[in-house]
């Protein structure tokens, strides 16, 4: 009987880890379009305020760059999550 309890705990933690990873992947998928949209809106508002017609392009570019930076930061953090499968191996012992 205790063995089945252990299996349920293990299965539950695996499901939880999978859902957490799926949540992070969804965040990554929405990051770039959201950042580009925010950059576009900020650039368009600056265009209206400064009576220009080119700042929105710079805003889109800055938004995309910020989105990529955030995506790389999130992916780097995803590697450190428990159960990611990339466990650091200890350095080999120095045998002389």
Instruction: Please indicate whether residue 54 or residue 20 has the higher confidence score (pLDDT).
Output: 54
Confidence grade of residue 79 (pLDDT, cut at 50, 70, 90): confident
pLDDT in tens, 21-55: 888 889 889 999 999 999 999 999 999 999 999 99
The whole model's pTM is what?
0.66
- Other CB atoms within a 10 A radius of the CB of residue 36 amount to 19
How many angstroms separate the CA atoms of 36 and 57, rounded? Answer: 10
For 40-67, b/e burial (b = at least 16 CB within 10 A) is bebbeeebeeeeeeebbeebbebbbebb
């Amino acid at each position: 009987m205790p063995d089945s309890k252990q299996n349920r705990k293990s299965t539950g933690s695996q499901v939880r880890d999978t859902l957490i990873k799926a949540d992070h992947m969804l965040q990554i998928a929405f990051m770039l379009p959201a950042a580009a949209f925010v950059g576009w809106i900020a650039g368009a508002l600056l265009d209206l305020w400064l009576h220009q017609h080119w700042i929105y392009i710079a805003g889109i570019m800055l938004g995309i760059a910020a989105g990529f930076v955030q995506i790389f930061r999130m992916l780097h953090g995803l590697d450190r999550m428990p159960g990611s499968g990339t466990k650091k191996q200890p350095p080999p012992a120095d045998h002389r």
